[in-house]
Amino acid sequence: MAPVIINLVAAQSDAGKTTVIEKLLPELKARGIRVAALKGNLRHRDPDLPGKDSWRYAQAGAEVAGFTTPEGFLLHGITAHNRSDDFVATLLRDLDLVLVEGHKKSGNPKIEIVRSAINPKPLLPAGTVAIFSDLKTMDSELPLVDLNNPKAQADFIVGRFLPERGNSMMDEMNLTHFDHSGRPRMVDVSAKEQSLREAYACGEISMAAETLAMVKAGRMAKGDVLAVAQVAAIMAVKETGRLIPMAHPLGISGVEVDFKTVQTPEPKIEIGVRVKLTGQTGVEMEALTGVSLAALTIYDMCKAVDKNMVIRNIRLMEKKGGRSGHYRREQS
């Protein structure tokens, strides 16, 4: 099978494409991924000497390094084979991935490097599948991955282009919530750096039109349904570490709860919970738990008049921060 080819591009030079590839290579190699790294669009066939880009790629773990020219490719590799022609005959066939620096007009999938000090707005050439950036947010539907986090970058590349390799690695590795004896454990996050974390989750509870009208009019016997549900969501966020066995108790810095009543095509209340924290682990579970308890509270407040209510579609919409970077659900 031919290797996957990905071009790392930027709107202009000095965005750090070489450094990104250089730091990515050890992460990919540690996962058993065989990678070639090429310097793109070199105009002269001069050998790449120690200290130059392709030399740096080879030192960082590329099985094959080199550069492209208008006429073709020049490659070199490090091999334990006694005969170099044996190596050449097998190396390209056995590679999993080729990372090419530059060449925005290629037909391959592209990852754009966006560095705030150089090019704060993405160029987004045709075929761009993700953005690696030091910006925390960006007006784009493409996945946004931390420019300074090669592990998160490798996670994205393996998950997107080599999912079978990612699955096989998970089979070989211990699951993070189990110790070497196979017993449950809480993951140790003490070595992680503190950073701003944020998560937004949504859900909904459908009900009869008459029930929704009573909620909006404040005519439920138990009181103001949405006010009580809002308090329940905030309390649930704060107590998530006690409710989810492997979740960490967290010092939450902010919770926002929003409700939207919908009449058609189906009467329902849509629930949103946004949670913020500066810490060492994410707040996805806190946001999801807040939505769940808000929905359950609405059910409890209204069940005397409508036992057919349905809670559903509880999902994470967006997360920011941490090793995996920015995630946004493409469909609501």
Q: Is 225 helix (H, G, I), strand (E, B) or coil?
A: helix
What are 81-110's pLDDT values in tens digits?
A: 444 444 444 556 678 888 888 888 888 899
Burial group, residue 245, by CB count within 10 angstroms (0-12, 13-18, 19+)? exposed
Look at residues 105, 140, 172 and tell me which one is the last residue of a structural domain.
172
- Whose CA is closest to 25, among 187, 190, 157, 215? 157
What are 5-49's pLDDT values in tens digits?
A: 899 999 988 889 989 999 999 999 888 888 888 876 554 444 455
pLDDT of residue 76: 55
- In 3-state terms the chain splits into helix, strand, coil percentages (rounded to 5) of 30, 25, 40
Residue 63 has pLDDT above 60, yes or no: yes
CATH classification at residue 200: 3.30.70.640
Return the percentage of the chain with pLDDT > 70, whole number: 76
Look at residues 112, 138, 172 and tell me which one is the last residue of a structural domain.
172
Q: Place 246 in a pLDDT band, splitting at 50, 70 and 90.
A: confident
Other Cβ atoms within 10 Å of 260 Cβ, number = 11
Domain containing residue 262: 195-328
Residue 31 and residue 116 share a domain: yes
Residue 233 and residue 106 share a domain: no
Residue 228 and residue 143 share a domain: no
Q: Determine the residue type at 161.
A: F
Q: Place 326 in a pLDDT band, splitting at 50, 70 and 90.
A: confident
pLDDT of residue 115: 93
Q: When comparing pLDDT for 86 and 316, which is higher? A: 316
**Residues 181 and 266 sit within 8 Å (Cβ to Cβ):** no
**b/e map of 172-197 (b: 16 or more CB within 10 Å)?**
eeeeeeeeeeeeeeeeeeeeeeebeb
Residue 129 and residue 23 share a domain: yes
Residue 185 lies in a domain: no
pLDDT of residue 75: 60
Rounded to two decimals, what is the model's pTM? 0.49
Residue 177 lies in a domain: no
**What are the angstrom distances between the C-alpha of 140 and each of 162, 169, 229, 251, 322?**
24, 31, 33, 31, 19
List the catalytic residues: 300
The total of structural domains in the chain comes to: 2
- Whose CA is closest to 153, among 318, 19, 41, 57? 19
CA angle 300, 303, 304 (to 5 degrees): 120
Residue 151 lies in a domain: yes
Q: Could you tell me where the beta strands, DSSP code E, fall in 195-288? A: 195-206, 254-262, 268-279
Mean pLDDT, range 251-273, rounded to an integer: 95
Residue 311 has pLDDT above 90, yes or no: yes
pLDDT of residue 81: 44
Residue 259 and residue 161 share a domain: no
Distance of alpha carbon 87 from alpha carbon 220, whole angstroms:
77
Instruction: Please name the helix (run of DSSP H) or strand (run of DSSP E) that holds residue 298, with its range, or none.
Output: helix 284-302
Q: When comparing pLDDT for 321 and 176, which is higher? A: 321
Residue 149 and residue 239 share a domain: no
**Residues 5 and 108 sit within 8 Å (Cβ to Cβ):** yes
- Whose CA is closest to 13, among 86, 96, 87, 102? 102
Q: Across 46-55, 172-181, 302-311, which has the greatest mean pLDDT?
A: 302-311
Cα-Cα-Cα-Cα dihedral sign, residues 86, 87, 91, 94:
positive
Mean pLDDT, range 208-237, rounded to an integer: 96
pLDDT of residue 204: 97
- Minimum mean pLDDT range among 61-70, 140-149, 167-176: 167-176
Burial group, residue 144, by CB count within 10 angstroms (0-12, 13-18, 19+)? buried
DSSP type of residue 114: E
Q: Is 226 helix (H, G, I), strand (E, B) or coil?
A: helix
Phi-psi region of 51 (alpha: psi -120 to 50; beta: other; left: phi over 0): left
Residue 14 and residue 79 share a domain: yes
Distance of alpha carbon 138 from alpha carbon 122, whole angstroms:
9
Largest CA distance in the chain: 85
Tokens 């919970």 map to which residue?
A: 273
Q: When comparing pLDDT for 213 and 64, which is higher? A: 213
Residue 277's Cβ-side half-sphere holds a number of Cα atoms within 13 Å equal to 24
Residue 179 lies in a domain: no
Distance of alpha carbon 220 from alpha carbon 136, whole angstroms:
43
pLDDT of residue 209: 96
